[in-house]
A and B are shown apart, each in its own frame.
Chain A
Amino acid sequence: MRVTCAVLMALGLAPRIPAASIPAQPERTVHFSVFSAIPITDLCFLPQRGSSPRPVEFYPTARSPAYEYRGSDVLEFRQGPATADTDFKARALLAQVSMPPGLLHVLLLFVPLVPAPATGLRYRIEVMDDGGASHAAGGLRIANFSGRALGGTIDGRPLVLKTGLNPVLGVGRSAAVALRTPFRGRSYPAFTETVELAPGERALLILFPPYRAGSLEVQSRLLLDRPPSPELLPGKR
């Protein structure tokens, strides 16, 4: 298990552990931002014990502002406007995640559960190590959550994606990414885009399942940002 966790962490993709199975642990501090293929509204979290709930803001084509969280390893996201007069625990729990140890900067990727449950959790959360050490400027990281096997070229070089988070590719300022997916013995275009990076920027390309039923063209979100400085505690943008 330790080996598995180590491998997953090396890839920046930590396993999700049911909250109920996690024993009480000492508080820790994590800086996180969130992203969802479709921005989620009315979601809040408790930055630290005793504080008021804080709304979580999603952006359609970028990471959210960075949030600081102090608490147990289990981070909960509950429904409703962030008003101080409502008990956080009384709100509906929509998502929760167990923060992997050792990570200071993470990106939480919210993925709606399909079909949407009538009650209970509505999202699962993929945790990605978003620190500058794992993903530096000039790097392109591709997260394949499309549900399809994808392969192709990046600047003409062969590229085979595995499901989930893939290793960072050094691309400099620009990279032409062309991905295809097999279907009934043929290879169909799934994604074609040229990623442009400004100096000091890095790119996270997240691939989601096709928008149209029956289509093989995957959705994409390209998140550009500058890696956080290790010594700098991120604040809201």
Chain B
Amino acid sequence: MNAAPKPRDSGFALIVAILLLAFLALLLLSLTTLMRIDSGSAGNLRKQAEARQNALLALDLAVGHLQRTAGPDGRVTANAEALGLAHPHYTGVWDAAADSAAPLTWLVSGNEGRDPMAVTPANSSGDAVELVGRQTSGRTADVMVPRQSVVDPSRPGTSRAVAGHYAWWIGDQGIKAPVALRDDTSAIDYVPYDSARRQRLPGQQIGRGPGVPDFEVSDGENAAKIRGLAAFNQIAFLRKPDGTALGVAALREHYHDWSPDNLAVLAATRPGGLRRDLSVAPGLLGGAFAAWADYRAYLEDPSAPAPPPPSPAYAGDPLRRRHRLTPPAEAGGITHGVWPILTYFLLTFNVRTQSGSSATKPLEVRARWMFTLWNPYTSALVPENLRMEITGLPAALQVVDETAGSVAATISLPAAYGSPLRISLPWDASVPDADRQSWLPGRVYTWTALEDLSGVPPPAGRASRFYSRNLSADAGQGVTQGIPGTAVDGDHVCHLSVTAAQELAARLWVVRPGGDLALATFHSPAFAGFTTTPHKVSSGTYQFSYLFRLAESLDTPAAPGAWLQDSAGDLRRSDLGADAFVTGPNGNRPELYENYATISAPDRLCDRAANGVSYNEDAPLFELPRAPLLSLGELQHLALAGLPPFSIGHPRSGTAVLGGIPALELFDRFYFSGLAAGVDWSPGKPLPNPRLQLPAHKSDGSAVSRADLAAADGSGGARYLLQGGAFNLNSVSRDAWAAVLRSVRFPGTTSFDYLDAAASTGTGGDGSVRVAAVTAAQFFRFPQSAPETGKADDPWGSSTYAASTTVPPAPPSTPSLANTQLFRRGFRSLSPAQVERLAESIVALNRERQMTAGPWRTLAGFLGPDPAYADENGRPTSLLERAIATAGLNGSIPEFSSQWLTQADILTALAPVLFTRSDTFVIRTYGDVSNPVTSAVEGRAWAEAVVQRTPVYVDPADPEDMSPPMLRPLNSALGRRFRIVDFRWLTAADI
């Protein structure tokens, strides 16, 4: 018997066992691998975290160094680009109180230690790390900064103590053009900006912010995107004019030229402290300035015009405005007042026997006159009756009887005509012509004597005829005054003689029911003693005349641009001296103007033909405020004692002092918020100066109120406000400067329209407007009123239309050299090429300056005269004036007119945003961690932060408006607090 085969099952178990073992091994391996991966990942994360910690450490060090060096007000910043060194984008900090070219420090890692100049753009080398590279600016290794070691003292050994590295670089944002400013002007809809036309004023006064050819921020789609723009990179999404996106390439190309926005503390670099708001405290510059700035006090309310009302009548949102005659107020070296200026004076006399009798008769004196007065303003004036009072006429006019060989009489003209000789200059609006209902901007009007044989002086003054230039026809037999106690044979030959020199003074009054008000006094040139040509004493010949005119550019043909620039004073002086006038062509001898009656001078600016009513006849020079001031540059229209017009903001203001404040320092010490009296602003709305940014709330959580901003001494606003669109003028970026220079522009979506005045009246209805051609940049001489005076016709060949009744396309009916068109337009347009040239000139001069003396410390220094920028006559000018000259911008402008671009014109647009330092910076930091054994870098991190200086001191116990000498030591050392306003981690791909 055989046994059944035994099943062979032991192999299966083995296989199972093996499989189990394999599975376990695999499991073990997997777990091990997982653990290794997890461990590695954790290690990497730990190293990354350590690297980030080192980057954050770098950020802390950078902010600390920035606070320590740039926190005080008395610091200025610039980058090293002007120095031509290896690291042009290093930011330096200079002491504003010193004039040394050497900075206090450069804002890069390595300088945070004991030696703030350990690393400079010249010596930075070695272990460097790239913080701005191809992905940022399109240039590899664009900003390289030295890597600093992070030492871990707990690690043994010297080499092992280095646990990682950090690096940082602070980029100066303020030297870049803030090209992505949003336009909030449409939200400025409160009084007095409660109309479409007035809403445009801020755009004319201070512009809409820097502009670049690549895109226009105010275009519809871009304007919407700008509102949501949170970072620089997002600018790449803006649309170019062709509708395509700007793209990152363009952004990289302009990384060092553009920023989204820059904010600046409204503080002075020297001596420090916050700027004051002249809008709320105009009295800081004295009563005259306050009166000038308070436009409502002398600007006619269009809803209730004074008689005669303007013709055409005001529209609902009038473009035209009229100011009221205002007597002078003088304080602090400033004159305010509104009155016409004497431009032509003729007073002529005849001494003869009574009625020209050839018999022996008493003598009589006949007088006749013509006076022309000019409205030098860009606003119309409300017409009123005037009176001229003349003194200085000879008190001893000898009538020498040559036939008899004796003195027939000695006549006192003051005794005969009164002292003063009072002459009424009535405004006759009975003729309904438009230019008799308003004293149009820049227009001259002439009065002539009216015949008066009564010999009785009217109490209101001797009568004159308004709107007359024909002396022979209108003055008739003149204004006669008998000389009692005299008797001369009419057939005797006599001459007249005055031995003493004569200086006449003509005082202008406005006649008002409540009492006449003196406006101004005009002083004649000195007239020499004289002896007239003998005539029969019965002759009606007007033997002598006092003749003088307002000097103007035609009187200096070799240097027509000298007028208004080189004169000793302003034409608006209430006591206008003889230096402002010129005698007639034959000089200062009254006897040489026998029977003189000539007035027509078509080549003169201040002349108007008898039938001339065209706008081309009129030459306005000065602007009167008609809205709140927004730019210190607008102060160029102030009349200053002893200075030519347009001096504020111009280097010619030199050492002038206004209200105890050097004129040039105004730009460092003041600003305009626009919150003047009568401005109905409320929290939540942009300020009239829309670039001023309010904080969301105060430190106590409440909103900033009108009361907070309206401190009586003007110090309130700057405690809270930051100036948006700020630009550090030490920038040497041509593209940045060019963008800033384009701040005032009228791109396609906006327009600048101006009154379409008629040649038949010189004015027009408010609804009749023309649109100006679009150019790259505008600089307003008349930022508030150019829309009223802008219409002017270009010359026809060598003749202008200034004396013409015709307008293009017809040729001028009367040839003239008077360039009224240059004065009328009120703004200078620059082409794209001119903007580029000006920017290049500024940058070139800025580079030269910074090479030798470092950056500009104050606006006063930047704007003031400097021998380094002497003009062709050797007179010191300023960098900007030199740049204008170098760029050849005025070469084709024959006269100092609104077309003659000046530094003050540039400042009108840019004064609110120009600073000599930056308060916005971008910080890029780097951190890494090293293997303690191999020293290999095992983790890297990059970060970027935007920091902003604020008005608050580091120790808030000191109020923001406290000035440096009074500060606590901590605040003296560290200044105002920087805050991080934006932060993001970067990757290597972002660098």
* A interface residues (Cβ-Cβ under 8 A, vs B): 38-39, 59-62, 183-184, 186-189, 191-194, 210-212, 214-221, 237
Residues 572-604 of B, flagged 1 when their CB comes within 8 A of A and 0 if not, give 000000000011011101011010001011110
Determine how close the nearest CB of chain B comes to the CB of A204; give it in whole angstroms: 14
- Given A191-B585, A192-B600, answer yes or no on A212-B817 (Cβ-Cβ < 8 Å): no
Please report the C-alpha to C-alpha distance between residue A143 and residue B89 in the assembled complex, in whole angstroms.
73
Interface: B493 (CB within 8 A): yes
CB <8 Å contact, A60 and B557: no
Contacts of B531 in A (CB 8 A): 39, 60
Provide a sorted-by-A list of 5 A–B residue pairs whose CB atoms are within 8 angstroms: A183-B557, A186-B798, A187-B798, A217-B585, A237-B493
Interface: B554 (CB within 8 A): yes
7 closest residue pairs by CB, A with B: A211-B587, A59-B533, A217-B585, A61-B533, A60-B591, A62-B533, A189-B603
Question: Which residue, of B554, B557, B798, has the highest number of chain A Cβ atoms within 10 A?
Answer: B557
Please report the C-alpha to C-alpha distance between residue A217 and residue B558 in the assembled complex, in whole angstroms.
13
Taking chain A's interface residues, is the majority helix, strand, or loop, or is none over half, making it mixed? Answer: loop
- Given A60-B531, A60-B589, A219-B585, answer yes or no on A192-B557 (Cβ-Cβ < 8 Å): no
Chain B residue with the shortest CB-CB distance to A190: B585
CB <8 Å contact, B592 and A60: yes
CB <8 Å contact, A60 and B585: no
- Given A60-B533, A61-B592, A189-B603, answer yes or no on A216-B557 (Cβ-Cβ < 8 Å): yes
Contacts of A188 in B (CB 8 A): 554, 557, 603, 817
Q: A183-B557, A189-B601 are in contact. List 11 more A-B contacts (CB 8 A).
A: A60-B533, A60-B589, A61-B532, A187-B798, A188-B554, A189-B602, A210-B585, A215-B555, A216-B557, A219-B586, A220-B585
Determine how close the nearest CB of chain A comes to the CB of B574; give it in whole angstroms: 26
Please report the C-alpha to C-alpha distance between residue A189 and residue B534 in the assembled complex, in whole angstroms.
31
- Given A215-B555, A219-B586, A220-B586, answer yes or no on A60-B532 (Cβ-Cβ < 8 Å): yes
Interface: B556 (CB within 8 A): yes
Determine how close the nearest CB of chain A comes to the CB of B250; give it in whole angstroms: 46
CB <8 Å contact, B591 and A193: no
Please report the C-alpha to C-alpha distance between residue A216 and residue B559 in the assembled complex, in whole angstroms.
12
Please report the C-alpha to C-alpha distance between residue A144 and residue B615 in the assembled complex, in whole angstroms.
37
Contacts of A221 in B (CB 8 A): 586, 592
B681-735 CB contacts (< 8 Å) to partner A: none
Count CB-based A-B contacts (< 8 Å): 72
Determine how close the nearest CB of chain A comes to the CB of B680; give it in whole angstroms: 52
Determine how close the nearest CB of chain B comes to the CB of A212; give it in whole angstroms: 6
Contacts of B592 in A (CB 8 A): 60-61, 221
Please report the C-alpha to C-alpha distance between residue A60 and residue B591 in the assembled complex, in whole angstroms.
7
Determine how close the nearest CB of chain B comes to the CB of A216; give it in whole angstroms: 5
Contacts of A186 in B (CB 8 A): 798, 817
CB <8 Å contact, B601 and A211: no
Determine how close the nearest CB of chain B comes to the CB of A16; give it in whole angstroms: 26
CB <8 Å contact, A59 and B585: no
Contacts of A219 in B (CB 8 A): 585-587
Please report the C-alpha to C-alpha distance between residue A38 and residue B559 in the assembled complex, in whole angstroms.
29
Contacts of B582 in A (CB 8 A): 212, 215
B869-913 CB contacts (< 8 Å) to partner A: none
Contacts of A187 in B (CB 8 A): 798, 817
CB <8 Å contact, B585 and A211: yes
Contacts of B530 in A (CB 8 A): 60
Contacts of A184 in B (CB 8 A): 557-558
Contacts of A220 in B (CB 8 A): 585-586
Question: Which residue, of B533, B556, B817, has the highest number of chain A Cβ atoms within 10 A?
Answer: B533
Contacts of A215 in B (CB 8 A): 555-557, 582, 585
Contacts of A189 in B (CB 8 A): 554, 601-603, 817
Please pick, from A61, A194, A218, A237, the residue contacting B594 in the complex, using a CB distance under 8 A: A61
Contacts of B585 in A (CB 8 A): 191, 210-211, 215, 217-220
Please report the C-alpha to C-alpha distance between residue A212 and residue B558 in the assembled complex, in whole angstroms.
13
- Given A214-B557, A221-B592, A237-B493, answer yes or no on A192-B587 (Cβ-Cβ < 8 Å): no
Chain A residue with the shortest CB-CB distance to B591: A60
Please report the C-alpha to C-alpha distance between residue A186 and residue B800 in the assembled complex, in whole angstroms.
12
Please report the C-alpha to C-alpha distance between residue A219 and residue B589 in the assembled complex, in whole angstroms.
12
Question: Which residue, of A38, A61, A186, has the highest number of chain B Cβ atoms within 10 A?
Answer: A61
CB <8 Å contact, A61 and B591: yes
Determine how close the nearest CB of chain A comes to the CB of B142; give it in whole angstroms: 52
Chain B residue with the shortest CB-CB distance to A188: B557
Contacts of B534 in A (CB 8 A): 59, 237
Determine how close the nearest CB of chain A comes to the CB of B469; give it in whole angstroms: 13
Please report the C-alpha to C-alpha distance between residue A191 and residue B585 in the assembled complex, in whole angstroms.
8
Question: Which residue, of B558, B559, B583, has the highest number of chain A Cβ atoms within 10 A?
Answer: B558
B549-574 CB contacts (< 8 Å) to partner A: 554-559
Please report the C-alpha to C-alpha distance between residue A191 and residue B587 in the assembled complex, in whole angstroms.
14
Contacts of A59 in B (CB 8 A): 533-534
Chain A residue with the shortest CB-CB distance to B593: A61
Residues 742-780 of B, flagged 1 when their CB comes within 8 A of A and 0 if not, give 000000000000000000000000000000000000000
Please report the C-alpha to C-alpha distance between residue A183 and residue B558 in the assembled complex, in whole angstroms.
8
Contacts of A62 in B (CB 8 A): 533
Contacts of B555 in A (CB 8 A): 212, 214-215, 217
Contacts of A193 in B (CB 8 A): 598
CB <8 Å contact, A214 and B558: yes
Question: Which residue, of A38, A59, A189, A221, has the highest number of chain B Cβ atoms within 10 A?
Answer: A189
Contacts of B798 in A (CB 8 A): 186-187
Chain A residue with the shortest CB-CB distance to B597: A194
Determine how close the nearest CB of chain A comes to the CB of B795; give it in whole angstroms: 11
Please report the C-alpha to C-alpha distance between residue A38 and residue B594 in the assembled complex, in whole angstroms.
14
Contacts of A237 in B (CB 8 A): 493, 534
Determine how close the nearest CB of chain A comes to the CB of B122; give it in whole angstroms: 52
Chain B residue with the shortest CB-CB distance to A187: B798
Determine how close the nearest CB of chain A comes to the CB of B968; give it in whole angstroms: 62
Question: Which residue, of B531, B554, B583, B585, has the highest number of chain A Cβ atoms within 10 A?
Answer: B585
Chain B residue with the shortest CB-CB distance to A38: B589
Contacts of B598 in A (CB 8 A): 192-194
Contacts of B532 in A (CB 8 A): 60-61
Determine how close the nearest CB of chain A comes to the CB of B538; give it in whole angstroms: 15
CB <8 Å contact, B587 and A214: no
Please report the C-alpha to C-alpha distance between residue A193 and residue B593 in the assembled complex, in whole angstroms.
12
Please report the C-alpha to C-alpha distance between residue A194 and residue B471 in the assembled complex, in whole angstroms.
13
Determine how close the nearest CB of chain B comes to the CB of A214; give it in whole angstroms: 6
Please report the C-alpha to C-alpha distance between residue A46 and residue B798 in the assembled complex, in whole angstroms.
55
Please report the C-alpha to C-alpha distance between residue A61 and residue B589 in the assembled complex, in whole angstroms.
11
Determine how close the nearest CB of chain A comes to the CB of B893; give it in whole angstroms: 15
Chain A residue with the shortest CB-CB distance to B816: A189
CB <8 Å contact, A192 and B601: yes
Determine how close the nearest CB of chain B comes to the CB of A43; give it in whole angstroms: 15
Determine how close the nearest CB of chain B comes to the CB of A196; give it in whole angstroms: 8
B357-397 CB contacts (< 8 Å) to partner A: none
Please pick, from A183, A211, A218, the residue contacting B583 in the complex, using a CB distance under 8 A: A211
Contacts of A216 in B (CB 8 A): 557
Determine how close the nearest CB of chain A comes to the CB of B244; give it in whole angstroms: 49
Contacts of A183 in B (CB 8 A): 557-558
Contacts of A210 in B (CB 8 A): 585
Please report the C-alpha to C-alpha distance between residue A39 and residue B533 in the assembled complex, in whole angstroms.
10
